[in-house]
Structure 1
Amino acid sequence: MIIPRSPHFFFQVFELLREQLWYRPNAAIYIKLIVLLGKCKQPDKAYELFQAMSDEGCVMNHEAYTALLSAYSRSGLFDKAFSLLEEMKDTPICHPDVQTYSILIKSCLQVFAFDEVRALLSDMASQGIRPNTVTYNTLIDAYGKAKMFQEMEMTLVEMLRGKDCEPDVWTMNSTIRAFGSSGQIETMEKCYEKFQSAGIQPNIKTFNILLDSYGKTGNYEKMSAVMEYMQKYHYSWTIVTYNVVIDAFGRAGDLKQMEYLFRLMRSERIKPSCVTLCSLVRAYGQAGKAEKIAGVLRIIENSDVTLDIVFFNCLVDAYGRMGCFAEMKGVLEMMKQKGYKPDKITYRTMIKAYSISGMTSHAKELRNLVESAAGSSLGMPKPDFRQPEYYRSYS
């Protein structure tokens, strides 16, 4: 029997419990439910439970306040989160601890609010609260993803200076990902060696990061060496591992190796994801193999893989590159059948394909359609120009 895991189910059970004669308020249950609501981005309901918890006479300690603060910060309600933090500092039994600050720091980092993070770290120091490994790893990871290498390295140095805060495999992975994703392969390798000499052992995520970094910089020999190492020491490949190597060989135009890895993946009963299919379609489009793309679509028809708008845009791009304009237009119908609406990237890709092939009238007609539909019932979302059109994260 499969038990539903939605918040609604848990609250139904909780309400039934509260109706029983033997029911006594339990702070731990309330806190767990508040955390759950926070993860589901329902801060208002989390606050209602927080109030109910207080009304029923539960002890309102720092764990309860931290749970509500987490719910606010996860939903971007930073004014309420910071206000609650101040309230905690003024309440004797609810003083914030390193976990409270770490949760708020993580939420601020996710929206690149680095000034607020610096203020929080300063506030922690003034109260004698030292960051722990989780805090440091969160900072290192965020600084690395933002390409703020100086801040990342300073944080790592500060972490190493502390006697009660040891770096771990998460620290290593965040550091090597930062350098690897920015093409600084030599620095990445030096960091990897230093972490290993410090006794930190890599995990599957470490190797996925190395594979992805080598693949994206065209270091296929080193990528193959990592693959051999993983095989030698019996590291089981995950869907992420396969996605990384399939994408790398596909971008390199090595369709034979890409297809071999895809067959191996399926033979090991690892279900392809939308990312896998995007990599195949992109590679076949670059190689002009329209019949191979048809094969990918047959695989989709015979599976329950969940598609997304990125896959359809990838498909449009592949057909457009090959000049298969009937098939490219057919993707729009396919999207309609699957319940997806074209976005600006879809149309921009089609316009580009028409323009490159000299079909200026088609390009102009489609451009006029997009401009007239802007903000209308087509409901096309504004694209995020900070990211590549077909960006995928493998880490």
Structure 2
Amino acid sequence: MESSTRTGFAKRRRSLQGPFLSEDNIDVQSDVYIWNSLLSGYAKSSMFNEALDVFRRLLNCPICVADSYTYPNVIKACGALGIEFHGRMIHGVVVKSGYVCDVVVASSLVGMYAKFNLFGDSRILALSLQNDVVLCKSLINVYFACKDHCSARLVSENNIDVQSDVYIWNSLLSGYAKSSMFNEALEVFRRLLNCPFCVADSYTYPNVIKACGALGREFHGRVIHSVVVKSEHVCDVVVASSLVGMYAKFNLLGDSVQVFDEMPERDVACWNAVMSCFYQSGEAEKALELFDRRF
């Protein structure tokens, strides 16, 4: 499907750039949405040189100005082509245009520098923008995607505004858990518990519980279970399912079933977790009985 889309776009590119963006078609040239559509089409089709050519023509167009939707595709093209010089030039244009504080644009720049393995530049950019909580969350996700875990952590440090937002902590926890950096995830959770500006929510606990299960830390798992109960998030389906799965990893069938039975509602993941616990404990018949209960 993607290949056919790319081929179709390639066949139409002359008709797009020809009459649409000709000097005689002033109405179309003055509409930034047309330029952005071309840029997006080329970027999605991995036709990055063509995307840069369109951007060059847009910059030279006297009747149209790029906006925040223009730059991400151009920045993506520079990163994909490995053209550091052009990337830095476009970064300069972005700064002059005032769009450097836009979440998507800034995240694209961070990702581009990470692709160039210029993590120093990436960190400087992030630190200069770290007062924006929404942007910080996006930057953390970009850093984890680029495997720059150090920068992801630095974004959240020494900034009270950021530390007071649970979404930032959750982004860190999720990033570490997805990267199988479970000790780091538990350390972040410890810091969150000691943070006077923020309180964990239902999105916090599943990643912490996952870390305990992966590390085989039963004691820590039970402590976190008690914290969950006190926080009243134990009724959350995802949190409770995570607890069922954790106890299943510890081969603690009784605890897993107890959490399962106390759940006010259950999803497919929870049923699968508790049945898997029975199978792992050699209780295949009980797993089948539970399966019958489900239906």
TM-score (norm 1): 0.47
Give me the whole-angstrom Cα distance separating, in 1, the residues matched to 2:97 and 2:185: 46
- Alignment-derived partner of residue 110 in structure 2: 105
Report how far residue 171 of structure 1 moved.
2.6
- Alignment-derived partner of residue 243 in structure 1: 241
Q: Residues 101 and 209 of structure 1: is their aligned pair in 2 closer, same or farther, counting only changes over 3 Å?
A: same
Partner secondary structure for residue 268 of structure 2: coil
Q: Residues 77 and 48 of structure 1: is their aligned pair in 2 closer, same or farther, counting only changes over 3 Å?
A: closer
Give me the whole-angstrom Cα distance separating, in 2, the residues matched to 1:46 and 1:145: 23
Map 1:36-115 → 2, pairs under 5 A: 41-44=44-47, 51=54, 54=58, 59-69=64-74, 71-72=76-77, 77-79=80-82, 83-87=86-90, 89=92, 94=97, 97-99=100-102, 100-106=105-111, 113=115, 115=117
Give me the whole-angstrom Cα distance separating, in 2, the residues matched to 1:96 and 1:81: 20
The residue type equivalent to 2:70 in the other structure is Y
Q: Residues 47 and 285 of structure 1: is their aligned pair in 2 closer, same or farther, counting only changes over 3 Å?
A: farther
Is the 8 Å Cα contact of residues 212 and 244 (structure 1) preserved in structure 2? Answer: yes
Report how far residue 67 of structure 1 moved.
3.1
Give me the whole-angstrom Cα distance separating, in 2, the residues matched to 1:185 and 1:172: 10
Is the 8 Å Cα contact of residues 250 and 258 (structure 1) preserved in structure 2? Answer: yes
Q: Residues 146 and 133 of structure 1: is their aligned pair in 2 closer, same or farther, counting only changes over 3 Å?
A: same
Range moving further from structure 2, 85-94 or 58-67: 85-94
Report how far residue 86 of structure 1 moved.
2.0
- Alignment-derived partner of residue 172 in structure 1: 169
Give me the whole-angstrom Cα distance separating, in 1, the residues matched to 2:291 and 2:51: 48
Q: Residues 174 and 36 of structure 1: is their aligned pair in 2 closer, same or farther, counting only changes over 3 Å?
A: farther
Is the 8 Å Cα contact of residues 169 and 200 (structure 1) preserved in structure 2? Answer: yes
- Alignment-derived partner of residue 329 in structure 1: none
- Alignment-derived partner of residue 199 in structure 2: 201
Does residue 272 (structure 1) correspond to residue 254 (structure 2)? The answer is no
Give me the whole-angstrom Cα distance separating, in 1, the residues matched to 2:193 and 2:119: 30
Report how far residue 249 of structure 1 moved.
1.4
Q: Residues 185 and 42 of structure 1: is their aligned pair in 2 closer, same or farther, counting only changes over 3 Å?
A: closer
Map 1:215-294 → 2, pairs under 5 A: 215-216=213-214, 217-218=217-218, 219-231=220-232, 237-239=236-238, 241-262=239-260, 268=265, 271-273=267-269, 277=272, 279-280=273-274, 282-291=276-285
The residue type equivalent to 1:86 in the other structure is M
Is the 8 Å Cα contact of residues 209 and 242 (structure 2) preserved in structure 1? Answer: yes
Partner secondary structure for residue 63 of structure 1: coil
Is the 8 Å Cα contact of residues 209 and 224 (structure 2) preserved in structure 1? Answer: yes
Give me the whole-angstrom Cα distance separating, in 2, the residues matched to 1:299 and 1:82: 63
TM-score (norm 2): 0.59
- Alignment-derived partner of residue 191 in structure 2: 191
The residue type equivalent to 1:172 in the other structure is W
Is the 8 Å Cα contact of residues 107 and 139 (structure 2) preserved in structure 1? Answer: no
Is the 8 Å Cα contact of residues 244 and 256 (structure 2) preserved in structure 1? Answer: yes
Is the 8 Å Cα contact of residues 108 and 114 (structure 1) preserved in structure 2? Answer: yes
Q: Residues 237 and 223 of structure 1: is their aligned pair in 2 closer, same or farther, counting only changes over 3 Å?
A: same
Report how far residue 103 of structure 1 moved.
2.0
Give me the whole-angstrom Cα distance separating, in 2, the residues matched to 1:147 and 1:190: 22
Tell me the alpha carbon deviations over residues 128-163 of structure 1, each in whole angstroms, 9 at most, x when there is no partner. Answer: 9644445544555646995956x5655444545xxx
Is the 8 Å Cα contact of residues 284 and 290 (structure 1) preserved in structure 2? Answer: yes
Give me the whole-angstrom Cα distance separating, in 2, the residues matched to 1:107 and 1:92: 15
Give me the whole-angstrom Cα distance separating, in 2, the residues matched to 1:56 and 1:96: 19
Report how far residue 204 of structure 1 moved.
1.6
Partner secondary structure for residue 230 of structure 2: helix
Is the 8 Å Cα contact of residues 169 and 203 (structure 1) preserved in structure 2? Answer: yes
Give me the whole-angstrom Cα distance separating, in 2, the residues matched to 1:200 and 1:89: 36
The residue type equivalent to 1:170 in the other structure is Y
Tell me the alpha carbon deviations over residues 319-352 of structure 1, each in whole angstroms, 9 at most, x when there is no partner. Answer: xxxxxxxxxxxxxxxxxxxxxxxxxxxxxxxxxx
Unaligned runs of 5+ in 2: 10-15, 21-26
Q: Which has the higher helix share?
A: 2
Report how far residue 192 of structure 1 moved.
1.5
Is the 8 Å Cα contact of residues 251 and 281 (structure 2) preserved in structure 1? Answer: yes
